[in-house]
Amino acid sequence: MTAHRYQIISSISLIALIFLCLSWEGWLAPLKPGGSWLILKGIFLLAPLFGILRGKRYTYKWLSLFIQFYLLEGLTRSTSEHGLSQWLAIGETILATLLFATTILFIRATRSPKEEKAAQSS
């Protein structure tokens, strides 16, 4: 696949993860009735959105580290909660895994020849 396809998949999965987090903690299955402060986890994902949509390599690099917190939360809550929250956590895990994989693949696909040569020699 090309870097452009990885960018599209990353963009779609990031937008889907934002909507999932906001709807989950806003009204679908919040920790407290009426919503909780965990809704902020969806708002934090807005920070890398424009860099991902524009294909900024630096944004992909730091998002690949940042997204692991969402993967960890999804895994934890999918094994500790029940009902709708468990299914939403499974969805978060899937989206975070897809986003992590496509960010790494985008970074590798957009390496400069100098970085490629350094990666092969080590």
Q: What confidence tens digit (pLDDT) does each residue in 33-56 have?
A: 777 788 899 999 999 999 999 999
In a domain, residue 119? The reply is no
Q: What is the pLDDT of residue 117?
A: 67
Q: What is the pLDDT of residue 105?
A: 97
Total number of domains constituting the chain? 1
Is 2 exposed, middle or buried (CB count within 10 Å of its CB: 0-12, 13-18, 19+)? exposed
How many Å apart are CA 28 and CA 51, to the nearest integer?
A: 29
Confidence of residue 120 (pLDDT cuts 50, 70, 90): confident
Q: What is the pLDDT of residue 118?
A: 67
- Domain of 108 in residue numbering reads as 3-31+41-112
Confidence of residue 112 (pLDDT cuts 50, 70, 90): confident
How many Å apart are CA 85 and CA 52, to the nearest integer?
A: 28
In a domain, residue 19? The reply is yes
> Could you say which DSSP state residue 26 is in?
I
How confident is the model over 51-103, as pLDDT tens digits? 999 999 999 999 999 999 999 999 999 999 999 999 999 999 999 999 999 99
In a domain, residue 96? The reply is yes
Q: Check whether 122 has a pLDDT greater than 90.
A: no
In a domain, residue 18? The reply is yes
Does residue 61 contact residue 86 with C-beta atoms inside 8 Å?
no
